[in-house]
Amino acid sequence: MNLAISATTIGAQHYFILGAILFTIGATGLLLRRNAIVMFMCVELMLNAVNLTFVTFAKALNDSAGQAAVFFTLIVAAAEVAVGLAIIVAIFRRRQGATADDIDLMKG
Amino acid sequence: MNPVLFAVLNTELEKPRIDWPIIAPVVALFVTALVIVLLRAILRTQPKLVYQLSIAAAFVGLVTSGAFVGNEWRIIHRSGIFQTFSGAIAVDGMTVFVQAIVLIATALGVLLALGYLRREGLETPEYLVLLLLSATGMLVMAHANDLVLVFVALEVFSIALYILAAFDRRRAESQEAGLKYFVLGAFSSAIFLYGIALTYGATGSTSLTEIATQLGVVDPKAHTGLLVAGFALLIVGLGFKVSAAPFHMWTPDVYEGSPTPVTAFMASATKVAAFAAFLRIFAGAFAQASDDWRPAIYVLAVLSLLVGTIAAAIQSDVKRMLAYSSIAHAGYILIGLQVANAGSKRNELPGTAASLFYLLVYALMALGAFGVVQSINHRGETNHAITDYKQLSKRQPLLAALLTLFLLAQAGVPFTGGFIAKLSIFRSAVDAGQYQLAIAGMLAAVIGAFVYLRLVVTMYATGQDDDPDAANEPRIKLDVGSRIALTITASAIIVLGVLPNWFLDIAHQATQLLTR
C-alpha cells in the first residue's frame, strides 16, 4: 500500500475529518484543562474547526452560504473574546491565578 | 479599466428589500440601547441625571417596541404570514407571541432591577444597556428563519447575559457565575454551531424553509449520519440554553450567583427565546424528520423532570431550589415540544400552543418568585437559605403571601396559571398518544408540589424555637418598581388561572399562523 499522499487525493472529506478532529480536541481540552485561559482557547479552537467545516461544505456543495456563515462566526468569536477576557481579568484581579478548580464558592 | 470589472460594476446588484415594519421592534430596542450609551458618553459629569434619563429611555424603547409588535400582529392578520429578508426572517403568529413575552419579561426585569441596583449600589446605565441588548437578541431569535441568524441571535443575547451575570463586581459569587455561564455558554454555542455546519452539509442550506423542503423530498430512511449528527448537536446546543437535563449543570450555580433580578430575567426571557428557536427549528423545519429527533427530546424531557424535581427537593438554598425547578419546567415544555406537531388535524398544533402558553405562564411565575426572593433579601444577597424563610408569614406577611402564590402556581394548583399550563401540556401529550410522557409529567408535578409546599410550610409553620418578636420586625418597604412588577405578575397569574380562554385562544391563533 502506498502511504504517500499526493496533493490531488486530498479532497473534501479530509478537510471535514480534520475539522472534526480539531473540534474534538477543543471539546476535550475544554472539559479536561482547568486553566480559564486555556479553556477559552479551546472554545476558539472549536469555533475555528466549525469554520473549516463550513468552508469545506461550501466548496463541496458549490454554495457561497457556507463561506458567508464563517464571517458571522468570526465576528461572534471576536465579541466572545472581548467579554470572556474581561470576566477573566475581573476574577484575576481578586485572586492570584485563573484556575477553574479554585472557583468553587457554589456547590450543591 | 478592465472591461470585465467594468461590466461587473455596471450590473445592478440585487439588493434585499428592507422590510422596516417587521424589524422595527428590534431596531427600537437597539437604538434605545445605543442612545443610552451615547448619553453616558456625552453627559459624563452627571451620572445621576444619565441614570434617570436612561430609565426613562428604556421604558420608552420597550413601549415603542411593543407598539411595533402589535403592528406586526395587525399585518399578519391583514395579509397572512410571510417571509422577508430573502427568507431569513419569518413573520408569523409565534414571532409575535414570543416577542410579546420577551418584552413583558424585559419590562418587568427592569422594574425589579431598579430597587435592587439602588440597594446594592450598582446604579449604572450599563445594566439597562445590557438588558436591552439582550432583549434585542431575543427578539431577533423570535424572527429567525435561518440557522445562521438563529446562531447570531443566540450569541447576541447570551454575550450580554454573560456580563449581566458577573455584573456585581464586588461579590465573588457573581463573578464566578459570570465565568461559569460564559465558559459553558461558549461551549454550547460552539456545539450548536457545529450542528449548523453538519446540517448545512447534509441539506445544502442553512435556511429553515429550504431545509424543510429538502427533508420533505428525501426518504426518511435515507437520512445520513451527517444529518442525524447535526440534529443531535443542535439539540445539545439548545438543550444547554433551555437548561434541560443532562445539560443543566451550569443552571444552579449561575442562578445562585447572579444578581437576583438578572436571574429573574435569565430564567424567564432566555428560556422563552431558546424554546422559540427549539420550536421553530425542530417542530417547524425538521417536522418531516421527526422520527429522528423525537426520541431524543423524549429522553431530555423525562430526565429534566426527574433531575429538576428530585434535586430541587434536597436544596437548602432558595435560589438553587428555584433553579432546579426551572429545569423541571423545561421538562414540561419539552413534553409539549415532543408532541409539537403530532396529530395536526385541521392545521392545529396543540403541542406547540401548549408550549407557548406554558412559556408565558412560566415567565411570569419565575419573575414573580425571584422578585419576592430579591425583595426579602438584604444588601449583599446573604440570606438565601431556606432556614432564613422561617416565620416569614409573621415577619413579612405580604411578601410571604405573594411568594406562596408564585410557588403554588409553579406547583400547578388550580385557579393559578400554572394549573392551566400543565393541564394543556398533559392534554396535548395524551391527545398525541404519548401516555408515558403525560404520566411522567404528572408524577413530576406531584413530587414538585412537595418541593414548593416545603418552602410554604417553612414560612407559615410555628414551632417551639420561634422568635416571639418576629411579628415586630420592621416590614420591608418595597420600592415602586418591585411593587408594580409584583402586582402585575401576581394578578396576571391569577387571571391566567381563572380566565385563561382568551390567552389560550391567542396561543392557538399564533400556532395556526405558523410558517411551516
Sorted by where each begins, the domain ranges of chain A are 12-100
CA distance B72 to B96: 7
CB-based burial label for B341 (10 Å; 0-12, 13-18, 19+):
buried
**Max mean pLDDT range (A30-39, B249-258, B284-293, B380-389):** B249-258
8 A C-beta contact, residue B104 and residue B73: no
8 A C-beta contact, residue B243 and residue B330: yes
CA distance B250 to B180: 7
CA distance B210 to B218: 13
Cβ atoms within 10 Å, residue B217 = 7
DSSP state of B369: H
Distance from CA of B183 to the nearest CA of A (A): 7
Q: With a cut of 80, say whether residue B348 has pLDDT above it.
A: no
Positive or negative, the Cα torsion across B295, B301, B306, B311?
Answer: positive
pLDDT, tens only, B140-195: 999 999 999 999 999 999 999 999 999 998 888 999 999 999 999 999 999 999 99
Q: How far is CA A45 from CA A18, B96, B200, B332, in A?
A: 12, 37, 20, 35
pLDDT score recorded for residue A103: 66
Q: With a cut of 70, say whether residue B362 has pLDDT above it.
A: yes
8 A C-beta contact, residue B138 and residue B269: yes
Under an 8 A CB cutoff, do B166 and A43 touch?
no
pLDDT score recorded for residue A2: 47
A43 touches chain B (CB under 8 A): yes
B206 touches chain A (CB under 8 A): yes
Positive or negative, the Cα torsion across B144, B147, B148, B151?
Answer: positive
Least confident of A2-16, B46-60, B355-369, B486-500: A2-16
Q: With a cut of 70, say whether residue B477 has pLDDT above it.
A: yes
Pick the more confident residue, A6 or B441: B441
Under an 8 A CB cutoff, do B187 and A27 touch?
yes
pLDDT, tens only, A65-76: 999 999 999 999
CA distance B295 to B123: 47
DSSP state of B1: -
- Using CB atoms, which residue from B163, B179, B206 is nearest to A88? B179
Q: How far is CA B256 from CA B65, B162, B274, B321, in A?
A: 31, 14, 20, 9
Under an 8 A CB cutoff, do A36 and B317 touch?
no
Q: How far is CA B128 from CA A61, B118, B167, B441, in A?
A: 44, 13, 11, 37
Under an 8 A CB cutoff, do A69 and B206 touch?
yes
- Using CB atoms, which residue from B190, B191, B320 is nearest to A108? B320
CA distance B35 to B21: 21
8 A C-beta contact, residue B403 and residue B314: no
- Enumerate helices (H) and strands (E) in chain B, giving the number of each: 21, 2
What residues does B516 pair with on adjacent strands? none
Residue B132 has, within 13 A of its CA and on its CB side, a CA count of: 30
- The helix (run of H) or strand (run of E) holding residue B19 is none
Distance from CA of B205 to the nearest CA of A (A): 7
- Rg of chain A in Å (alpha carbons): 18
Share of chain A above pLDDT 70, in %: 81
Under an 8 A CB cutoff, do B175 and A87 touch?
yes
DSSP state of B316: S
- The helix (run of H) or strand (run of E) holding residue B83 is strand B82-84
Peptide bond into B25 cis (omega under 30): no
- Using CB atoms, which residue from B155, B204, B252 is nearest to A63? B204
Alpha helices in B412-500 (DSSP H): 417-431, 435-460, 480-498
CA distance A33 to A30: 6
8 A C-beta contact, residue B147 and residue B131: no
In degrees, rounded to 5, the angle at the alpha carbon of residue B453 between the alpha carbons of residues B449 and B455 is 130
- Copy the grid coordinates of residue B371: 422578585
pLDDT score recorded for residue A1: 41
Distance from CA of B164 to the nearest CA of A (A): 11
Pick the more confident residue, B7 or B58: B58
Q: With a cut of 80, say whether residue B3 has pLDDT above it.
A: no
Share of chain B above pLDDT 70, in %: 96
DSSP state of B138: H
- Copy the grid coordinates of residue B467: 422568635
pLDDT, tens only, B29-38: 999 999 999 9
Q: With a cut of 90, say whether residue B464 has pLDDT above it.
A: no
CA distance B189 to A51: 13
pLDDT score recorded for residue B347: 58
Cβ atoms within 10 Å, residue B314 = 11
B429 touches chain A (CB under 8 A): no
Share of chain B above pLDDT 90, in %: 72
CATH of A12-100, one of 1.10.287.3510, 2.40.160.60, 1.10.8.60, 3.60.10.10: 1.10.287.3510
- Copy the grid coordinates of residue B138: 431575543
Using DSSP's 3-state secondary structure scheme, residue B468 falls into coil
Q: Which residue of A has its CA nearest to B206?
A: A65
CA distance A35 to A102: 10
8 A C-beta contact, residue B507 and residue B353: yes
pLDDT score recorded for residue A102: 66
Residue B120's closest CA among B379, B453, B465?
A: B379
8 A C-beta contact, residue B248 and residue B304: yes
For an interface test with A, the pick among B134, B182, B249, B382 (most A C-beta atoms closer than 10 Å) comes out as: B182
One-letter identity of residue B27: V
CA distance B459 to B466: 12
Dump the DSSP string for A39-93.
HHHHHHHHHHHHHHHHHHHHHHHT-SHHHHHHHHHHHHHHHHHHHHHHHHHHHHH
- Copy the grid coordinates of residue B448: 414538585
B461 touches chain A (CB under 8 A): no
Cβ atoms within 10 Å, residue A25 = 14
In degrees, rounded to 5, the angle at the alpha carbon of residue B353 between the alpha carbons of residues B244 and B500 is 110
CA distance B447 to B284: 33
Looking at residues B133-146, what average pLDDT do you find? 96
Pick the more confident residue, B44 or A101: B44
- Copy the grid coordinates of residue B356: 407557548
Q: With a cut of 70, say whether residue B131 has pLDDT above it.
A: yes
Mean pLDDT in chain B?
91
CB-based burial label for B11 (10 Å; 0-12, 13-18, 19+):
exposed
Looking at residues B322-336, what average pLDDT do you find? 96
What residues does B82 pair with on adjacent strands? B91
Per the listing, cell 486553566 goes with: A35
8 A C-beta contact, residue B306 and residue B251: no
Under an 8 A CB cutoff, do A79 and B159 touch?
yes
Looking at residues B107-119, what average pLDDT do you find? 94
CB-based burial label for B137 (10 Å; 0-12, 13-18, 19+):
buried
Confidence tier at B468 by pLDDT (50, 70, 90): confident
Looking at residues B302-320, what average pLDDT do you find? 94
- What are the residue boundaries of the structural domains of chain B, listed by start? 16-512
Q: Which residue of B has its CA nearest to A80?
A: B159
